[in-house]
């Protein structure tokens, strides 16, 4: 019998078909809604604006936010967005592509390592478990840095684990070290991948089972460090050279801020997102659902395998623990900080999930989760539509919904009906497949229905479009007390007077700009920043967006002999705090 018709060849074809269907389903869920919305706060407009300015200026090395240098994050993520715009010429697609590709990449790496450590079925279960978690899908469908840095950390751990557990595989090891360096120039935390050396060295010292026989090769180990430094130098070297050539105070401040204040300073003296020490227990319990619901059964199974000295479990589990501990120490905490640990939880859980799906207890929990989600969505939608409670009216006013939010509440009704229908179909016997299908339907409905409904009020597209219509096509526009989405969606080149400048100083500079050519110039300004130096009776109301009121003024709306900088007009704002 020829090889093509052998049982092994038939099994490989079946494996490939299953894998293809899985990634097709993943692509549908993760890419649904692309092209239907613009960047939404808090972080998406900031990164998209930086990427847009990279394309327009040709300066991809030291990014700008408006007229100021932007030093909060390294530029790799924004450069990827700019690259994809150069390829697609559509911002609504380009700004989401790095996260989408990072998500698909993490699924592929999780599948492949679990397949190598166990088998194809376990690999597919690991990837499916990751795809089903709330945090993974929510973040991959957004344009924040965290999915991209999570991909680089996953790639780094993938390379190291292939070498430590399945090697020796020096090329995988070098790739892992290089990926860790890419993680550093993406968000600074890529070095955390190297914490994997701690459990590896412990396992070698204690003689744990499952480690690869890696002997000697001191020079090869050091090449890994060189690969890490090489990745760093791809941006760090040219950036330092460019800053030195400019030799201006703003460039020196940029170098100091991004190398020290935004890394060690942010970690040791967190200035925002303060949370209690137990914060990440809640993140694991809720954001990592439904995978976290299996932990009561997984913990005894892991304890048994660790007692048997199985390094396949020790290394990734220890790395998860080290990452959570690392981010627990600073006061500033966000749920996305520990997202890089999530793929490895899926890998560690995968060998037991198929058996758990056949047990009554886990199936009851799956059915209960599906029923609770469906009932909550359906009940909220019904109450909001029929009773019109205060929370519904408040949300409609904040979002500027002309229909009182009927489209959004109808979405909740539809979502609740779909989830409850899935629960009725699955019941206890098919609770797990029903949960998977219900979650997929939830993300599709959210992406295809909510994106168009919420886009204008979330993205500032609507308010900037109205501003352009009010001032006409030949007018000049400037911004005061602006947010990134305002400059991003302005329909013409707009002047700004700094983003980090205090509002009175911005308004004082804008007043001089308006008076220099009063017939053609308009100022787009936040209502809270107008203060006593602006005659609101002469201002033009533009609209409500991002929980803020926006206005347009001309020079005649400025009160004579009133200096905003001297009077401190307008409430102070901290521009470093995200929306």
Kindly indicate the confidence band of residue 385, based on its pLDDT and cuts at 50, 70 and 90. Answer: confident
User: Cα–Cα distance between 514 and 425 in angstroms, integer?
Assistant: 65
Contacts of 463 by beta carbon, 8 Å cutoff, 6+ apart = 456, 486, 542, 543, 544, 545, 550
**CA separation for the pair 509, 543 (Å, rounded):** 24
Distance CA 409, CA 381 (A): 5
pLDDT bin (cut points 50, 70, 90) of residue 376 is very high
For residue 168, give the DSSP letter: -
Q: Quote the pLDDT of residue 377.
A: 94
| Average predicted confidence (pLDDT) for the chain | 91
pLDDT band at 136 (very low <50, low <70, confident <90, very high): very high
Average pLDDT over residues 430-457: 93
Residues 281-317: tens digit of each pLDDT: 999 999 999 999 999 999 999 999 999 999 999 999 9
> Which phi and psi angles does 30 have, rounded to 5°?
-75, -30
d(CA 577, CA 377): 31
Q: Say which residue, 491 or 405, is predicted with more confidence.
A: 491
Q: How many Å apart are CA 456 and CA 544, to the nearest integer? A: 10
Q: Is 371 exposed, middle or buried (0-12, 13-18, 19+ CB in 10 A)?
A: middle
Q: What is the mean pLDDT of residues 472-497?
A: 95
Q: How far is CA 34 from CA 24, 44, 117, 183, 402, in A?
A: 16, 14, 35, 25, 25
Measure the CA–CA gap between 319 and 161, rounded to whole angstroms.
11
Decide: helix, strand or coil at residue 317: helix
Query: What's the DSSP call for residue 332?
Result: B
Cα(395)–Cα(453) distance, integer angstroms: 13
CA-CA distance, 272 to 331, in Å (whole number)?
8
pLDDT band at 397 (very low <50, low <70, confident <90, very high): confident
Which contacts (CB < 8 Å, 24+ apart) does range 321-327 have?
Answer: 322/192, 322/195, 322/198, 322/199, 323/192, 323/195, 324/280, 324/284, 326/192, 326/195, 327/280
DSSP readout, 392-445? Answer: HHHHHHHHT-TTTTHHHHHHHHHHHHHHHHHHHHHTTTTHHHHHHHHHHHHHHH
Query: Tokens standing for 418?
Result: 């779909």
To which H or E segment does residue 381 belong?
helix 360-386
CB 165 within 8 A of CB 199: no
Where are the domains positioned within the chain?
A: 3-356, 374-459, 461-567
| Rounded-to-integer distance, Cα 52 and Cα 225, Å | 34
Provide the pLDDT confidence category of residue 403 given band limits of 50, 70 and 90: confident
Rounded to whole angstroms, the Cα distance separating 151 from 123 reads 17
Q: Which of 11-15, 35-39, 150-154 has the lowest mean pLDDT?
A: 11-15
Average pLDDT over residues 455-468: 90
Q: Are 205 and 169 in contact (CB under 8 A)?
A: no
Give the pLDDT band (50/70/90) at residue 579.
very low
Share of the chain above pLDDT 70, in %: 95
The Cβ-side half-sphere exposure at 358, using a 13 Å CA radius, reads 3
Token representation of residue 455: 């886009």
Q: Are 129 and 346 in contact (CB under 8 A)?
A: yes
Q: What is the pTM of this model?
A: 0.93
């Amino acid at each position: 019998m020829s090889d093509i018709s052998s049982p092994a060849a038939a099994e490989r074809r079946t494996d490939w078909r299953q894998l293809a269907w899985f990634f097709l389903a993943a692509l549908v869920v993760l890419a649904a809604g692309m092209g239907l919305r613009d960047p939404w706060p808090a972080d998406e407009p900031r990164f998209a604006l930086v990427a847009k300015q990279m394309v327009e200026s040709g300066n991809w090395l030291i990014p700008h936010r408006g007229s100021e240098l932007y030093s909060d994050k390294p530029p790799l993520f924004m450069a990827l967005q700019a690259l994809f715009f150069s390829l697609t010429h559509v911002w609504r697609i380009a700004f989401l592509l790095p996260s989408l590709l990072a998500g698909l990449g993490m699924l592929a790496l999780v599948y492949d390592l679990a397949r190598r450590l166990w088998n194809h079925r376990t690999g597919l279960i690991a990837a499916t478990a990751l795809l089903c978690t709330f945090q993974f899908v929510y973040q991959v469908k957004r344009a924040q840095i965290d999915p991209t840095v999570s991909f680089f950390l996953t790639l780094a751990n993938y390379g190291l684990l292939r070498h430590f557990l399945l090697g020796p595989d020096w090329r995988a090891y070098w790739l892992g070290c290089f990926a860790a360096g890419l993680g550093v120039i993406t968000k600074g935390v890529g070095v955390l991948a190297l914490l994997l050396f701690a459990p590896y060295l412990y396992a070698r010292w204690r003689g744990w089972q499952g480690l690869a026989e890696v002997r000697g090769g001191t020079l090869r180990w050091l090449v890994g460090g060189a690969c890490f430094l090489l990745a760093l130098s791809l941006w760090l070297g040219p950036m330092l050279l460019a800053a030195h050539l400019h030799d201006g105070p703003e460039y020196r401040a940029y170098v100091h801020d991004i190398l020290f204040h935004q890394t060690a300073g942010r970690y040791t003296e967190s200035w925002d997102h303060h949370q209690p020490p137990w914060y990440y227990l809640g993140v694991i319990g809720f954001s990592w659902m439904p995978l976290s619901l299996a932990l009561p059964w997984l913990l005894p199974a892991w304890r048994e395998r660790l007692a048997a000295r199985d390094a396949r479990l020790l290394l990734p589990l220890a790395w998860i623990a080290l990452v959570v501990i690392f981010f627990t120490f600073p006061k500033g905490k966000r749920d996305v900080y520990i997202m890089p640990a999530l793929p490895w939880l899926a890998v560690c859980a995968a060998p037991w999930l198929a058996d758990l799906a056949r047990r009554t207890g886990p199936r009851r929990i799956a059915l209960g989760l599906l029923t609770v989600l469906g009932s909550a969505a359906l009940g909220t939608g019904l109450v909001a539509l029929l009773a019109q409670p205060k929370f519904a009216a408040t949300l409609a006013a904040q979002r500027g919904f002309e229909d009182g939010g009927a489209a959004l509440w109808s979405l909740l009704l539809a979502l609740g009906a779909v989830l409850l229908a899935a629960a009725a179909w699955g019941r206890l016997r098919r609770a797990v497949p029903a949960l998977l299908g219900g979650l997929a339907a939830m993300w599709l409905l959210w992406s295809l229905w909510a994106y168009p409904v919420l886009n204008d009020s979330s993205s500032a597209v609507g308010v900037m479009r109205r501003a352009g219509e009010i001032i006409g096509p030949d007018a000049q526009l400037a911004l005061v007390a602006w947010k990134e989405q305002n400059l991003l969606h302005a329909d013409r080149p707009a002047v700004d007077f700094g983003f980090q400048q205090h509002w009175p100083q911005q308004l004082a500079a804008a007043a001089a700009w308006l008076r220099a050519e009063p017939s053609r110039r308009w100022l787009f300004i936040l209502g809270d920043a107008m203060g006593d130096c602006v005659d609101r009776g002469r201002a033009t109301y533009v609209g409500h967006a991002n929980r803020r009121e926006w206005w347009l003024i001309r020079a005649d709306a400025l009160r004579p002999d009133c200096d905003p900088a001297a009077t401190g007009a307008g409430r102070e704002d901290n521009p470093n705090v995200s929306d």
